[in-house]
């Protein structure tokens, strides 16, 4: 067994909170630069300039890229030979979020009760943690802070299997178009196809972690990604929903076996400030 202390996890998570908030990942920056070169709309060209300036300022001045520093969502792969000493993994991650959101002056955006009091917890906890056990002695932690504006534009539908490929294309494209400027386009479109209702949603979120624009390893799904992206960008919704050629930077599809009666499809959008950070302990 390999022992990792509670504080090691907590401190790593704390650092990741600051890093994710201020440093736009290189693949997102590259995708923005490439899209800026393809944009013909004058207003939208101005927005792309601002996105790139924003990324420079955030990294240099250690200011969050976006004031909505998000719900702290974690994807954790824990080796079966790893043991946490001094507390549970969940406690250590939440302690790291508490420290990080304070230390790096990030916005605390979590309310304790969703319906009645809606009182801020003032430390951005609790985090959402997706935990998976894997072979080996490594603890791999990915943090993907998720803003409310893009998350609110999520969509899920249980299609009839007969609706097939066209049904999927229409549902995803219409979801992105009807979201308009709300999710801060250009977005990255995460799609989960198959599984169950909640697993499709999980896949849609996980799809956002893929390197921006990297096609699905399955050629049929890669072709589907390209077709959906083309249709979304032909819509003219554009940057900030104010018109333009680039509404989405990429479409990423994850898929999974599903029930013979079902065809679940979930859509989760990420804004152009597509933040994430990771660490291997």
Partner 1 sequence: MKKVMQTPFTEEAVRSLHAGDQLILSGTVYTGRDAAHKRLCAMLAAGETLPVDLAGQAIYFVGPCPAPPGRPIGSAGPTTSGRMDAYSPVLIKECGLRAMIGKGGRSQAVIEAMKEYGCVYLAATGGAGALIANSIVKAEVVAFDDLGPEAIYKLELDNLPLVVAIDADGNSLL
Among the listed residues 40, 61, 116, 217, the single contact to partner 1 using CB under 8 A: 61
Determine the angle formed by the axes of helices 219-234 and 164-179, rounding to 10 degrees. 40
Pick from 242, 258, 279, 281 the residue near partner 1 by CB under 8 A. Answer: 242
When binding is defined by CB under 8 A, the residue of 47, 74, 75, 255 that contacts partner 1 is: 47
Q: 83-112 mask for partner 1 (x: CB under 8 A)?
A: ----------------------xxxxx---
Tell me: does residue 15 bind partner 1 (CB under 8 A). no
Are 280 and 134 in contact by the 8 Å Cβ rule? The answer is: no
Given the complex with partner 1, which of 8 and 247 has the nearer CB atom? 247
Among 7, 149, 262, 279, binds partner 1 (CB under 8 A): 149
List CB contacts of 181: < 8 A, sequence separation 6 or more: 237, 240, 241, 242
DSSP states along 220-239: HHHHHHHHHHHHHHHT---G
- Residue 164 binding partner 1, by CB under 8 A: no
Site size with partner 1, rule: CB under 8 A: 41
Count of C-beta atoms within a 10 Å radius of residue 206? 19
Question: From residue 10, how far is each of 57, 84, 159, 281 by CA, in Å?
Answer: 27, 11, 42, 11
- Give the H or E element holding residue 4: strand 2-5
Interface with partner 1 (CB under 8 A): 22, 43, 46-47, 50-51, 53-54, 57-58, 61-69, 105-109, 118, 120, 122, 148-149, 152, 180-182, 184, 240-243, 271-273
């Amino acid at each position: 067994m390999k022992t990792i202390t509670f504080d090691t996890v907590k401190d790593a998570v704390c650092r990741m909170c600051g890093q994710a908030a201020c440093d736009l990942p290189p693949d997102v920056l590259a995708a923005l630069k490439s899209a800026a070169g393809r944009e013909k709309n004058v207003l939208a060209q101005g927005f792309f300039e601002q996105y790139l300036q924003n990324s420079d300022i955030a990294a240099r001045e250690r200011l969050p890229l976006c004031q909505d520093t998000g719900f702290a969502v974690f994807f954790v792969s824990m080796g079966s030979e790893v043991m946490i000493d001094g507390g549970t993994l969940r406690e250590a991650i939440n302690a790291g979020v508490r420290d990080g959101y304070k230390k790096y002056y990030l916005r605390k955006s979590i309310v304790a009760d969703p319906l009645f009091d809606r009182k801020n917890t003032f430390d951005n906890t609790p985090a959402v943690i997706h935990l998976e056990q894997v072979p080996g002695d490594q603890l791999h932690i990915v943090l993907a802070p998720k803003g409310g504006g893009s998350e609110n534009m999520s969509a899920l539908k249980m299609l009839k299997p007969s609706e097939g490929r066209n049904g999927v294309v229409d549902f995803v494209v219409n979801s992105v178009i009807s979201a308009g400027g709300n999710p801060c386009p250009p977005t990255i479109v995460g799609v989960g196809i198959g599984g169950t209702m909640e697993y499709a949603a999980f896949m849609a979120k996980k799809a956002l972690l893929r390197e921006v624009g990297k096609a699905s390893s399955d050629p049929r799904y890669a072709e589907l990604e390209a077709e959906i992206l083309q249709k979304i960008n032909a819509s003219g919704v554009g940057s900030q929903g104010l018109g333009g050629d680039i509404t989405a930077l990429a479409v990423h599809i994850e898929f999974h076996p599903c029930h013979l009666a079902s065809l679940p499809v979930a859509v989760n959008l990420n804004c152009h400030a597509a933040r994430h950070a990771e660490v291997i302990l």
